[in-house]
Each structure stands twice: as structure tokens, then as C-alpha cells.
Amino acid sequence: MTVLDIARPSEPAAAFAAAPAAATPSLVGLTRARLGEALLEAGVAERQVRMRAAQLNHWLHNRGAASFDAMTNVSKDLRAALAERFTLDRPEIVSEQISVDGTRKWLLRLPAQGPRMRPAEIETVYIPEEGRGTLCVSSQVGCTLTCTFCHTGTQTLVRNLTAAEIVAQLVVARDRLGDWTGGSAPEGAIVPGDGGRFVTNIVFMGMGEPLYNLDAVRDAIEVMADGEGLGVGRRKITVSTSGVVPEMRRLGEETGAQLAISLHAVRDELRDVIVPINRKYPIRDLLDACRTYPGASNARRITFEYVMLKGVNDNPAEARELVRLLAGLPAKINLIPFNPWPGSPYECSDWETIEKFSEIVFRAGYASPVRTPRGRDIAAACGQLKSETRRLRAKEREALEATQ
């Protein structure tokens, strides 16, 4: 029997475990403006707030400080006043899985937002590649949309994440990867040898529809892109949408993020079924909004995602229609092999069919468009997050019951 070195769930390190359910708010992930409000509350004079907020932003989001005591250029009194009112808690890491290909998936528990609310769980995935590392973040718990190939679409619990909860996913990743400037890495983390960073890119391709939570996504991008803080450039941040047309312009204007569109079909009749938001905003309106997306250019192309569903959207005529539809748009095409989930109504197209489809797209001038599946052994594909972890926990429960 061959034993594969697959998913290795590990216990969260003590330093990253959640604090007790006390309602003391955390400063982690807040914008400079929100940090300023916290400082005012802690008694800082108005004329000092800007400077102090910049200092806090540096400690929290550039150095990854996990305690107020680490903030050596902040006076002892202020540190004490802050510690009385706030924490530096991160979300609790429920599990961490590491794939044979280096992909890591974290299941995070977010505190309940109110007395009668339940804590929520989300997933974040880190995908290392040659010369860069991409973090796939969630913007909502579940999704109100119901794309038929997507597991998130079948989940019922839905709430928007706050901006800080979105940013905290990057903070947790930097903690676990030892990816802070001048910081010390936790045990087991790999520190980049060349002084570079592990997480260089962010994609909003986890759970949820980012354009249905745009204010929080905008604030989160502000914090992630702050050059004196987390330092991920806006051009390295991609927001993926199923096509919420009325919000696309605002996304471009207010975030400067790269745009990705989950197209998946070239005819309205089919897209109406597999991406139901198409009934509200059909393909023609969607592509019009792309044509006027602020900042789109040949240097900053829009990515069109196309999931390959066997016998549904994968024939050569559809590849030709795809190329025709996108003519004149500064576009990149990403063909995504469908990642099946238990009970999913589709299969992934055969490799031969994907190659044929890709060849047509390639001949039209789009380079290497098939996305390599990553972290399959830990079910890390974006869009079907959280499902597998739940299943494992159910199995674990069964195993436990069997021994009792």
C-alpha cells in the first residue's frame, strides 16, 4: 500500500487560538480611519490621531504584531489604554490542511456578530506558484446566488463579512507562513529566503459574491493595498464576479482592482441556467460593463473564467463564439476544469475536449488558458470551499462514535 503525504490537519498554535468569547473588539484588519476612532476612544488627542493611526497600521499590518507590548515606539500608557479596550485577536484557526503541492487551506471561525447570532466559518486558500503566491479569500459566508455548478451556491447560511474579517484572512496567512517584515516566524513556517513575500497576490474567489458586499470589499482592499501596511499592490488584487453589472463601475473606481468575470457560457439560454444572475443582467449588458470598466487596458486585462462542464458548454462552436464575443475587449481567458463535489449535477469535460477548446482560444491569440487544478487532495478549489472540511468532521464524529 502506498501512503500519500496528503492533507495534514494540524492544531492551531497557541498564539493564534481564539480568545474567549468576550466582546472586546479586535483592531486587526481595520482601516486607518477606524484605527483613528479607536485611538480617540483610548484618549489620544485629535491632532495626534493621524500619526498614531499610521503607527498602529504599521505594527498590525506590516510587522504582524500579536501583542501591544511589541509596539516599542508607542508609549507604555497608550499601550495600556489600548489593551484595556481592544485586542489583537485573529479569527480562530479551526483547521489547517497542507497539500502535497504546497497549497494550504484554513478553516476559520469568526465570532458571532450579536448575542443571538452564531459564529460563522469560512475558508481561505494559499496557492504557491513559481515566483508568486496567491491567497484566495472569501467575501461572504455562503452566497445568495445559486450557480448550479458551485457548491457555495447550495449553502444556506449567508452573511456579509466585515472588511476586517476579509483582511484577517491575509493576516492569518502571513502569521502561518511567517510572512511578516522583520518578524519571527511561527514554528513550522517557511520563511522566504530572498526577503520576498509568500503572499504576493489576492483573488476574491472564495465563498460569496464580492459585489454584493462591495463597501466591505472596498475597505478591505484599502487595508491590503496600504504600502506601509500589508503592501499587496492594487494591481495584484483581483475581484471575481458572477456579473453584478450595476456595481462593476464602482468596483473599478473605488478599488482599482483587477476584474475577473465568471462567464461560463456564451448563450443567454444556457447562462440563465448555470449562472442564474444572467436572467437579471444578460451577457450583452455584462460585456458592455466590461468595455467601460475603469482602468481596463491591454496592460490590465479583464479575466474571463470559463468552467469546463462535460457536454454542457464545451463544444468547439462555443469556443469560437467565446472568441467572437470577446473580440475588441482587453481580455484574458481562464479555462477551469470543473471540480466536482458530492451530489454535483455535472462532470468535468474530458481532457481531449478541453484541449480542443483551448486550441481554438489559443489560435485566437489568448495564451495558455487552462488553469491547473491545485490542492485537489485537500479540496481547495475556490468556489467549493468549506464543504470538504464539514464532511471530514462528520466522518471524524462517526469514527469517534464507533470507538465508544
Task: Give the residue numbers of the binding site for [4Fe-4S] cluster.
Answer: 143, 147, 150
Q: CB of 99: closest distance to ligand SF4 in angstroms?
A: 21
149 binds ligand SAH (CB under 6 A): yes
Among residues 121, 123, 305, 318, which one is catalytic? 123
DSSP per residue, 199-239: --EEEE-SSS-GGGSHHHHHHHHHHHH-TTTT---GGGEEE
Helix (H) or strand (E) holding 274: helix 268-274
Residues numbered 288 to 317 that lie near ligand SAH (CB under 6 A) are 305, 307
147 binds ligand SF4 (CB under 6 A): yes
389 binds ligand SAH (CB under 6 A): no
DSSP per residue, 161-195: PPHHHHHHHHHHHHHHHT-STTPPPPTT----TTS
**Residue 97 interface partner, choices ligand SAH, ligand SF4, none, CB cut-off 5-8 Å depending on type:** none
- Judge whether 123 counts as a catalytic residue: yes
Q: d(Cα 180, Cα 217) in Å, to the nearest integer?
A: 23
**Euclidean distance between the first and final Cα of the chain, in Å?**
29
Place of cell 475558508: 123
Residues numbered 187 to 246 that lie near ligand SAH (CB under 6 A) are 205, 209, 240-242
Stretch 257-296: interaction string toward ligand SF4, x if CB under 6 A = -----x----------------------------------
Count of residues of this chain found to bind ligand SF4 when the rule CB under 6 A is applied = 12
The phi and psi torsions of 9 (rounded to 5 degrees) equal -65, 135
Q: CB of 272: closest distance to ligand SAH in angstroms?
A: 15
Q: CB of 223: closest distance to ligand SAH in angstroms?
A: 20
Q: d(Cα 51, Cα 29) in Å, to the nearest integer?
A: 18
- Give the 3-state secondary structure of residue 378: helix
The phi and psi torsions of 13 (rounded to 5 degrees) equal -65, 145
Among residues 121, 222, 382, 388, which one is catalytic? 382
Instruction: Name the binding residues for S-adenosyl-L-methionine.
Output: 208-209, 240, 262-264, 339
Nearest to 348 by CA among 325, 371, 320, 366: 371
Burial class (CB in 10 A: 0-12, 13-18, 19+), 371: middle
CB-wise, 8 or 249, nearer to ligand SAH? 249
Nearest to 290 by CA among 328, 316, 256: 328
- Judge whether 382 counts as a catalytic residue: yes
Of positions 150, 237, 290, 348, contacts ligand SF4 by CB under 6 A:
150
Nearest to 11 by CA among 190, 169, 176: 176
145 binds ligand SF4 (CB under 6 A): yes
383 binds ligand SF4 (CB under 6 A): yes
Residue ranges that bind ligand SF4, judged by CB under 6 A: 143, 145-147, 150, 152-153, 208-209, 242, 262, 383
Active-site annotation, residues: 123, 382
Residue ranges that bind ligand SAH, judged by CB under 6 A: 149-150, 205, 209, 240-242, 262, 305, 307, 336, 338-339, 381-384
